[in-house]
């Protein structure tokens, strides 16, 4: 299955892109996606440890099972205002 | 009375993640004797925020108190000089989070009007990045809800600020995350 991944702020800077598509085994979890991203972008590990993650604009935890076409966003700590 | 229009447009792509084009709604305020705005407005825009227009919008015969909080780009932070700031957001989730903030505030306080505006893109020194406006029957509700709204917005809404320091470096601000993420400066005049 193919997952769309969005990167913001420091996560975008480290990955060098705002979005990418990632192929994963069917029924992969969010935790497995995060592991795959860290393998591809080792610098993301630190940011990922502090980031919230959303799946299709709903916050999610590592155990969530992903599905084809899901939009996953890496959301470092907010600093609006 | 105040009349408002929401216009549709598109952001310049410079500060957005690759491949993104975010629709933007522009708030245009004008006086009118016949039309009033809806009693809430949530807006993320790359345009200058008009706190005075928000103040006018909050006016209602049902409200005995109104509070407008304006957050602006500050020159000094712990002795470091800021040239300007850039903000980016995850628009769909940020707008949803702002709507939820308003909804939660309205369950805690009896608000007449509620306005939440955030600017994205480049925000020069002295200009507003955020405006929170509320009106209520009494001042306690207005003060408390405005304070809660700006505090919670800063903490929870997926919007991010990048400092452009006077020494040429840039830094995404991520509270609670260390070490700071610093990147070499980019010549703004290039290109």
Q: What is the rounded average pLDDT for all residues in chain A? A: 97
Could you give the 3-state DSSP secondary structure of residue B53? Answer: helix
Predicted local confidence at residue B22, as pLDDT: 36
Chain B residues with CB under 8 Å of a chain A CB are 16-20, 71, 87-90, 92-94, 96, 118, 129-130, 150, 153-162, 172-177, 181, 183
Asked if pLDDT for residue B25 goes beyond 80, the answer is no
Write down the CATH superfamily of domain B4-187.
Molybdopterin biosynthesis MoaE subunit (3.90.1170.40)
In this prediction, residues A1-25 reach a mean pLDDT of 98
Distance CA A23, CA A13 (A): 22
Are B73 and B119 in contact by the 8 Å Cβ rule? The answer is no
Whether this model's pTM surpasses 0.90: no
Asked if pLDDT for residue B103 goes beyond 50, the answer is yes
**What is the chain B residue with the closest CA to A18?**
B17
Are B159 and A78 in contact by the 8 Å Cβ rule? The answer is yes
Q: Provide the 10 A C-beta neighbour count for residue A27.
A: 10
Could you give the 3-state DSSP secondary structure of residue B94? Answer: helix
Asked if pLDDT for residue B24 goes beyond 80, the answer is no
Asked if pLDDT for residue B97 goes beyond 90, the answer is yes
Predicted local confidence at residue B40, as pLDDT: 76
Which of A25-39, B20-34, B79-93 comes out lowest in average pLDDT? B20-34
Could you give the 3-state DSSP secondary structure of residue A26? Answer: coil
Which of A59-63, B158-162, B185-189 comes out lowest in average pLDDT? B185-189
Interface contact A77-B177, CB threshold 8 A: yes
Interface contact A76-B177, CB threshold 8 A: yes
Partnered with residue B31 across adjacent β-strands are: B2
Distances (CA, A) of B48 to A42, A67, A75, B28, B122: 38, 40, 26, 11, 10
| Torsion angle of C-alpha atoms B146, B148, B151, B157, degrees rounded to 10 | -100
Helix (H) / strand (E) element for B84: namely strand B80-89
CB-closest option in A7, A10, A73 to B174: A10
Asked if pLDDT for residue B73 goes beyond 70, the answer is yes
A79 interaction partners in chain B (CB closer than 8 Å): 154, 159-161, 172-175
CA nearest B87: which of B133, B132, B47, B29? B47
CA nearest B57: which of B49, B66, B44? B66
């Amino acid at each position: 299955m193919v997952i769309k991944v969005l990167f913001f702020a420091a996560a975008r800077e480290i990955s060098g892109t705002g979005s990418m598509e990632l192929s994963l085994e069917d029924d992969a979890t969010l935790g497995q996606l995060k592991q795959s991203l860290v393998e591809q972008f080792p610098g993301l590990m630190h940011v990922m440890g502090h980031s919230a993650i959303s799946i299709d604009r709903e916050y999610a935890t590592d155990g969530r099972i992903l599905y084809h076409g899901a939009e996953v966003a890496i959301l470092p700590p907010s600093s609006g205002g | 009375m105040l009349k408002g229009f929401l216009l549709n447009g598109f952001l310049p792509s410079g500060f957005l993640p690759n491949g993104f084009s975010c629709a933007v709604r522009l708030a245009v305020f004008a006086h009118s004797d016949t039309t009033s705005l809806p009693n809430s407005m949530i807006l993320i825009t790359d345009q200058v925020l008009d706190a005075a227009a928000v103040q006018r919008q909050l006016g209602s015969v049902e409200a005995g108190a109104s509070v407008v909080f304006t957050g602006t780009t500050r020159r000094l932070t712990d002795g470091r000089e800021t040239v300007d700031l850039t903000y980016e957001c995850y628009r769909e989730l940020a707008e949803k989070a702002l709507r939820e903030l308003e909804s939660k505030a309205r369950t805690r306080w009896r608000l007449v009007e509620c306005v939440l505006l955030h600017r994205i893109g480049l925000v020069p020194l002295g200009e507003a990045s955020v405006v929170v406006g509320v009106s209520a029957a009494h001042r306690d509700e207005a003060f408390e809800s405005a304070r809660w709204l700006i505090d919670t917005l800063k903490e929870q809404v997926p919007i991010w600020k990048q400092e452009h320091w006077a020494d040429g470096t840039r830094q995404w601000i991520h509270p609670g995350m260390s070490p700071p993420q610093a990147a070499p400066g980019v010549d703004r005049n290039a290109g």
